[in-house]
Amino acid sequence: MKKTTDRKILALFILVGIVLFSYLGYKVYNDFFKSRNTHKPIDSIELYEYTLNNNDTSIYKDNFRALSKVLNDKPINYSEYSKLISKLFIIDLYTLNNKMGSTDIGGLEFIHKDLRDNFKDNMGSSLYKFMETNLDGQRKQELPEVKDVEIIDITDTTYTYKDNIYDGYILNAKWTYVKDLGYQNTIKLTIIKEKDILYIVKGE
């Protein structure tokens, strides 16, 4: 009877040890990869839900600060607002070397909320499809980084979306990379104004 009790106690200690070891292993693993993920907010424009992260490039940070200034001025210059979100969208979307993997899609906060899921799926199966993960910080893959963006022209427009007519803008832009790896470098964007906030609704 005593031997049976001893075995049960021993089995219980072993089980507790396994659970404790598994928990500690998970915590160390999770903390390690959290430390690798450098997407940590350092600034935001809360009303518009725009966020600046510490891993964003210097050109992105410069344009984000310029956008913050434009949005703090009254009245807001919506033409400048549209130019800056276009630049930020392009920089964030086409700079891949600071992304963690193929699901870490840039530029989403500038897309109309109704279109974000579809946009993320499309980018994940095209532009971001072959990106290697960088959770361990050891990625060797060469990926693009946007160096500069130029707004070629901007025109006022109206745009019908979900049976509503919105004022907006059409912009043509081009950009260069730190190193030319053959990625897209021009785009035509359609932007609408909804409740005083600008959203990208079309890119071609």
What is the per-residue pLDDT across 44-71, written as a single tens digit (0 to 9) for each? 898 899 999 989 999 999 999 999 999 9
The residues that bridge with 171 in the sheet, in sequence order, are: 154, 189
Rounded-to-integer distance, Cα 131 and Cα 127, Å: 8
Rounded-to-integer distance, Cα 64 and Cα 145, Å: 17
Entry pTM: 0.81
Q: Enter the DSSP assignment of 113.
A: G
pLDDT per position as a tens digit, 68-113: 999 999 999 999 999 999 999 999 999 999 999 999 999 999 999 9
* Domains of the chain by residue range: 1-36, 37-203
Distance of CA 168 to the CA centre of its chain: 24
Largest CA distance in the chain: 89
Q: Enter the DSSP assignment of 106.
A: S
